[in-house]
């Protein structure tokens, strides 16, 4: 099957049938950060409250669980701070955790982001702690695990590392079970530059490690999204025993997972069937098979996450649409317009090469409809 795309004609490969795994991978703990499906008839223009297609959103989470992956919800992949307002986030947390209960323990199957985005005018450290506490309680009441997200507001008012230690120290003293801490780099959110109290990554890392060392029993792991493999390997080695490193490096995840990192990745939303197969190959000690599956997905991921990286969600949703997980290529905040047609065309090519177009006829039909909208 062929399709004419910007840049030249593309001949599709034979579709790959990825077998459903018998269960989750055993050698790594892995979360797929999941997107939300916008209601195509809702007013999802920029600045409007998010209108979500809840049936399709929950159906997609069932798809991820069926491949043995945990779900990281209400994170940046779900457009936190980029269109998913607190009202929709709160509903997402409750619905996702309730849906997980049909598969097992929600606290094991889904972890949700808790932040301060509902309190944009918090002006003191105590107000930031209170905002975090409210969202953590929302997540815990729903029965999900907690991911403490980086706070734009804290980054804006913190005077140095001591302020981060004050806020996170209070939070980690209050939680009733270990949480995941999230370090999101400024390539994902420019508002988070200098997180942990310094623009110098080495100084910020020292501060981060000191905090974790003081509260290690309440830290399940750290999710690091800095797109720096060498830094991640060093941080992983320095963590206290029992604290996991969840890679958030959507450029270098194949080698980082293989060498010992666990994972919490937005790209796993798009590559779940292949990722699950690769992880089971890793469990079996089949490193060649792992590489053979993972490497083409990494080429795809580097395209989806190219600069400006924070627009990666568009490619994630685009692939969900091509694969029939949702009926429309639309996003909250109108974010489907954040990537160009040549960019999306290359995503199409690379997804096919990685064996990630489940139904080529459907994918070609939908791609042709998108091309027609653009006059091609």
Give the pairing type, strands 179-184 and 219-225: parallel
pLDDT at res. 50: 98
Q: For residue range 41-79, list pLDDT tens digits in order.
A: 999 999 999 999 999 999 999 999 999 999 999 999 999
191 burial (CB, 10 Å; 0-12 / 13-18 / 19+) is middle
Beta bridge partners of 77: none
Instruction: Report the chain's terminal Cα–Cα distance, integer Å.
Output: 18
The answer to whether residues 66 and 54 touch, using CB atoms and an 8 Å cutoff, is: no
Per-residue pLDDT, 310:
96
CA–CA separation, 131 and 213 (whole Å): 24
pLDDT of residue 14: 93
The answer to whether 62 and 32 have CB atoms below 8 angstroms apart is no
Q: How far lies 158's CA from each of 88, 182, 188, in Å?
A: 28, 17, 20
Handedness of CA 259, 261, 262, 263 (dihedral sign): negative
The three-class DSSP label of residue 179 is strand
Tens digits of per-residue pLDDT, 102-144? 999 999 999 999 999 999 999 999 999 999 999 999 999 999 9
| Sign of the Cα pseudo-torsion (274, 105, 180, 83, in order) | positive
For residues 120, 125, 128, 129, the Cα torsion angle rounded to the nearest 10 degrees is: 180
**CB-side neighbour CA atoms (13 Å) of 124:** 3
Helix/strand/coil (H, E, C) string of 288-340?
HHHHHHHHHHHHHHHHHCCCCHHHHHHHHHHHHHHCCCCCCCCCHHHHHHHCC
Angle (CA) 254 257 261, round 5°: 150
The Cα 313–Cα 318 span in angstroms is 8
pTM: 0.96
Dist. CA 42–CA 357, nearest whole Å: 28
Task: Cite the DSSP H helix spans in 67-200.
Answer: 86-100, 106-109, 125-142, 152-157, 161-174
Q: How far is CA 125 from CA 38, 86, 130, 202, 228, in A?
A: 34, 20, 9, 24, 30
Rg of the chain, C-alpha, whole Å: 20
Q: For tokens 């030249």, what's the residue? A: 8
Supply the pLDDT for residue 268.
98
Q: How far is it, in rounded angstroms, from Cα 299 to Cα 106?
A: 33
Residue labelled with tokens 């004050």: 166
Of 333, 237, 312, the residue nearest 77 (C-alpha)? 312
**Residue ranges of the chain with per-residue pLDDT less than 50:** none
């Amino acid at each position: 099957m062929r399709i004419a795309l910007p840049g030249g004609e593309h001949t599709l490969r034979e579709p790959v049938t990825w077998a459903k795994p018998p269960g989750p991978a055993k050698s790594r703990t892995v979360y797929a950060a999941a997107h939300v499906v916008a209601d195509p008839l809702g007013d999802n223009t920029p600045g409007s409250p998010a209108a979500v297609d809840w049936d399709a959103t929950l159906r997609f989470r069932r798809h991820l669980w069926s491949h043995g992956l945990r779900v990281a919800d209400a994170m940046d992949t779900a457009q936190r701070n980029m269109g998913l307002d607190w009202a929709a986030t709160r509903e997402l947390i409750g619905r996702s955790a309730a849906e997980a209960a049909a598969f097992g323990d929600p606290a094991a199957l889904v972890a949700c982001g808790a932040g301060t985005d509902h309190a944009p005018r918090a002006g003191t450290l105590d107000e930031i702690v209170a905002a975090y506490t409210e969202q953590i309680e929302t997540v815990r009441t729903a029965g999900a695990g907690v991911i403490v997200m980086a706070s734009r507001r804290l980054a804006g008012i913190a005077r140095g590392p001591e302020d981060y230690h004050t806020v996170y120290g209070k939070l980690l003293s209050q939680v009733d079970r270990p949480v995941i801490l999230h370090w999101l780099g400024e390539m994902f959110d420019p508002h988070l530059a200098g997180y942990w109290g310094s623009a110098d990554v080495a100084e910020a890392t020292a501060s981060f490690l000191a905090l974790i060392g003081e509260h290690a029993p309440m830290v399940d792991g750290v999710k690091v999204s800095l797109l720096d493999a060498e830094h991640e390997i060093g941080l992983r080695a320095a963590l206290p025993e029992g604290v996991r490193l969840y890679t958030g490096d959507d450029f270098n995840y194949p080698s980082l997972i293989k060498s010992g990192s666990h994972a919490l990745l937005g790209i796993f939303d798009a590559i779940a069937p292949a990722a699950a197969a690769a992880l089971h190959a890793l469990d079996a000690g089949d490193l060649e098979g792992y590489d053979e599956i993972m490497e083409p997905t990494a080429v795809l991921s580097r395209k989806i996450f190219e600069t400006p990286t924070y627009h990666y969600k568009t490619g994630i949703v685009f692939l969900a649409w091509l694969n029939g997980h949702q009926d429309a290529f639309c996003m909250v905040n109108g974010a489907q317009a954040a990537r160009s047609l040549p960019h999306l065309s290359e995503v199409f090519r690379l997804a096919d090469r990685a064996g990630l177009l489940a139904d080529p006829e459907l994918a070609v039909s939908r791609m042709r409809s998108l091309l027609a909208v653009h006059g091609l």
